[in-house]
């Protein structure tokens, strides 16, 4: 809601699956704020978006802080391993 804090990144060669199926992802916004659905006061939220396809072209997640840390570690390990491929 109102921490306003937002990190925004451009994405390339990436896709997500929304209610209407797969679509190319262009941006990700990451922010720690009040969730719409998750049962916590603040969560780490990620919106994967394709602005050209409208507001509905969105894959959204709301992660508890602990879950976000786990995911961050998993991403770090996976990206590190990918360097060896």
Partner 1 sequence: MQHDAVLAETIGIRGHGNDEIEAYTARPMDGRPRGGVIVIHHMPGYDAATKEITRRFATMGHHAICPNLYTREAPGAAPDDAAATARAQGGVPDERFVGDAAGAARWLRSLPTSNGRVGAIGFCSGGRQAVLAGIEVDLQAAIDCYGAFVVGAPPEGFPLRVSPFGHRIPELRAPLLGLFGNEDAHPSPDQVDELEKLLREAGKTYEFHRYDDAGHAFFSVDRPSYRQAAAVDGWERIRDFLARHLGA
* Residues between 6 and 25 with contacts to partner 1, criterion CB under 8 A: 6-8
Region from 28-36, 68-76, 77-85 binding partner 1, contact rule CB under 8 A: 28-36
Please, are residues 7 and 29 in contact by the beta-carbon 8 Å criterion?
A: yes
Going residue by residue from 44 to 63, which x/- string records binding to partner 1, judged by CB under 8 A? ---x-x-x--xxx-x-x---
CB of 74 to partner 1, least distance (A): 24
Residue whose C-alpha is closest to residue 62's, from 18, 31, 85: 31
Residue whose C-alpha is closest to residue 53's, from 12, 83, 24: 24
Q: Could you give the CA distance from residue 38 to residue 65 in angstroms, rounded to a whole number?
A: 11
For partner 1, the binding residues (CB under 8 A) are: 1-8, 27, 29, 31, 33-34, 36, 39-41, 47, 49, 51, 54-56, 58, 60
């Amino acid at each position: 809601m109102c921490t306003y804090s937002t990190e925004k990144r451009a994405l390339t060669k990436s896709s997500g699956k929304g209610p209407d199926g797969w679509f190319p992802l262009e941006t990700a916004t990451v922010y720690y704020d009040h969730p719409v659905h998750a049962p916590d006061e603040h969560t780490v939220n990620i919106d994967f978006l394709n602005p050209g396809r409208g507001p509905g072209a969105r894959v959204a997640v709301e992660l508890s802080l602990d879950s976000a840390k786990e995911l961050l570690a998993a991403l770090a390990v996976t990206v590190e391993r990918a360097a060896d491929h």
